[in-house]
A and B are shown apart, each in its own frame.
Chain A
Amino acid sequence: MPEAFDEQELLDRIDGDMEFLEETIEILEEDYPTLFEEVVKAAAAGDAEALVKPAHALKGMLSNFCAGPAEAAAAEIEMKARENQITDVDSGVQVLARETERLRSALRSFLEAHQS
């Protein structure tokens, strides 16, 4: 299984600024649940149009953490939504949930390791 995020790339991106990383993780914790809920609701309603925006926003948010698997999951949902091909999108939503949880956990561990 690939890493939840690319540690070196992330460190380069934030220029080793752990304080800033903590700030962005806090934003992730605050904003992710709302966006994910929108994804779930739109997927359950079969509303492809309503699915595009939260999936796109999540893709952008997750890309900031060099989180390849989670970003790819959001990107796939967005692409299917744009193409109005969301009959089997539930599995994609589950992948997104799983990968994002894995990312959040990995980020917390990474932050703790570098702050101690």
Chain B
Amino acid sequence: MKILIAEDERITRRSLQRELERWDHEVVAAEDGAAAWDLFQQQSFDLVVTDWDMPRMDGHELIKCIRASDRAGYAYLIMLTGRSEKTDLVHGMEAGADDFLAKPFDREELRVRLNAGERIINLERRLAKQNEALQLSNDRMHRDLDAAALVQQGLLPTTLPQMPGIQFAWHYQPCDELAGDLLNIIPIDKDHVAVYIADVSGHGVGASLVSVAVHRSLSLRQDQTSLIVTPDENRKGYKLARPSMVATQLNNIYPMESNGGHFLTFVYGVIDLARGCMEFCCAGHPGPVLVRAGEPTKSFEAPSFPLGITPDPEYEDSVIELKPGDRIYIYSDGIIEAGDRSSELFGRDRVESTAAESRDLPLDESIRAIVDATAKWQGNDSFDDDISLLALAIDGD
């Protein structure tokens, strides 16, 4: 070890230096605290042995300076004290000394205290190395997560469908780098648009991988077919899968036991602009909210199993007849399960009332109003769960 001695009394200083050098330590001796502090700032020491009463800078001040310094690595500090100087000892240990040695020092006592110091220093070095490795690993993991988050965000709608008579808006806010939530708006043909929100249980990498897989299952392939669009019998055209069939197929593809224990809630709807309706199906997910002029705002709830939990669940299709000026909101449970200080949840009723109150705002601003109201309810905008909201508005008369 490289050891610094701070001792103004020459014989003690010389005796210490002699003993330490005999044990093959590299020793630098200073005649007082100020000289020791200068040396400490210029060189790197593993251990410091310091007297208490010294001119210019005493041991207490030296220990405080060393502990306040930002040098790398830990310096083990041993304080030299008279056998009767208990107060100095207490002050020294409080200032940051690790151990003490009574004067005149006993050689064996010095040796065992140095050994104790060396053990601490070695432990500290190992810990610093492990922390460094941990930091590198953590940095790498964050880079990977950030890259994965970019991929996941790339799955969100980049442009909104431009279709006559209907507008769309959405909001997506993961609570971590990666989300278990997923939403999409899929224009199928001039009369049909599919919308969905899926919420994979849990967070992090596992949930996000399932959400990416679900996204792929629901995306249109090059031949315009997928779970949501299948070729018709004579293969000359295609037909839209009923929402309940989409849910059933997803349930078959993603059983939770094959997906790391992740299940998912799902709401899926197909808007038929020619017929003026939205057919939808919920799988354990909050139902759509309909905001209609002159009528109470209401939610369409249909209790059902989330996807992946049971082999043969029954999913039902429901239909909302759309009228001019109607707005429909679908959302993930991160909105309604946001709790205030007393853990009271934001709840479905507040989603409905906020959606109703913001009916005259542009669609994207009404979505923002719901997110803001939820954040205000819980007291901050850092959510414990992913937040997904998707809305559509039928143009008025």
Using known A-B contacts A20-B18, A56-B53, determine if residue A61 contacts B107 with beta carbons closer than 8 Å.
Answer: no
Q: Which of A24, A59, A66 contacts B14 (CB 8 A)?
A: A24
Contact (Cβ within 8 A) B103 A63: yes
Number of chain B residues whose Cβ lies closer than 8 Å to a Cβ of chain A: 13
Q: Give A21 Cβ to nearest chain B Cβ, in Å.
A: 11
Q: Which of A15, A27, A56, A66 contacts B11 (CB 8 A)?
A: A27
Q: Which of B9, B18, B53 contacts A61 (CB 8 A)?
A: B9
Contact with B along A57-74 (1 / 0, CB 8 A): 101110110100000000
Question: Does chain A have a CB within 8 A of B82?
Answer: yes
Contact (Cβ within 8 A) A60 B9: yes
Question: Does chain A have a CB within 8 A of B104?
Answer: yes
Please report the C-alpha to C-alpha distance between residue A63 and residue B102 in the assembled complex, in whole angstroms: 11
Contact (Cβ within 8 A) B53 A64: no
Question: Does chain A have a CB within 8 A of B10?
Answer: yes
Number of chain A residues whose Cβ lies closer than 8 Å to a Cβ of chain B: 17
Contact with A along B1-36 (1 / 0, CB 8 A): 000000011111011001000000000000000000
Contact (Cβ within 8 A) A13 B104: yes
Using known A-B contacts A13-B104, A56-B53, determine if residue A23 contacts B82 with beta carbons closer than 8 Å.
Answer: no
Please report the C-alpha to C-alpha distance between residue A53 and residue B56 in the assembled complex, in whole angstroms: 13
Q: Give B51 Cβ to nearest chain A Cβ, in Å.
A: 8
Nearest opposing residue in chain A for B53, CB measure: A56
Contact (Cβ within 8 A) A24 B15: yes
Please report the C-alpha to C-alpha distance between residue A43 and residue B82 in the assembled complex, in whole angstroms: 23
Q: Give B296 Cβ to nearest chain A Cβ, in Å.
A: 87
Please report the C-alpha to C-alpha distance between residue A39 and residue B90 in the assembled complex, in whole angstroms: 28
Q: Give A74 Cβ to nearest chain B Cβ, in Å.
A: 11
Question: Does chain B have a CB within 8 A of A47?
Answer: no
Please report the C-alpha to C-alpha distance between residue A28 and residue B107 in the assembled complex, in whole angstroms: 21
**Which residues of chain B come closer than 8 Å to A27, judged between CB atoms?**
10-11, 14
Q: Give A80 Cβ to nearest chain B Cβ, in Å.
A: 14
Please report the C-alpha to C-alpha distance between residue A11 and residue B2 in the assembled complex, in whole angstroms: 28
**Which residues of chain A come closer than 8 Å to B104, judged between CB atoms?**
13, 60, 63-64, 66
Please report the C-alpha to C-alpha distance between residue A23 and residue B14 in the assembled complex, in whole angstroms: 9
Contact with A along B41-67 (1 / 0, CB 8 A): 000000000000100000000000000
Query: Chain A interface (Cβ within 8 Å of chain B)?
Result: 13, 15, 20, 23-24, 27-28, 31, 53, 56-57, 59-61, 63-64, 66
Offer 22 A-B interface pairs, CB within 8 angstroms, sorted by A: A20-B18, A23-B14, A24-B11, A24-B15, A27-B11, A28-B11, A31-B10, A31-B11, A57-B8, A57-B9, A57-B53, A59-B82, A60-B12, A60-B82, A61-B9, A61-B10, A61-B11, A61-B12, A64-B11, A64-B12, A64-B15, A66-B104
Give 10 A-B pairs besides A31-B11, A61-B10, A63-B103 with Cβ atoms closer than 8 angstroms: A15-B107, A23-B14, A27-B14, A60-B12, A60-B104, A61-B11, A61-B12, A64-B11, A64-B15, A64-B104
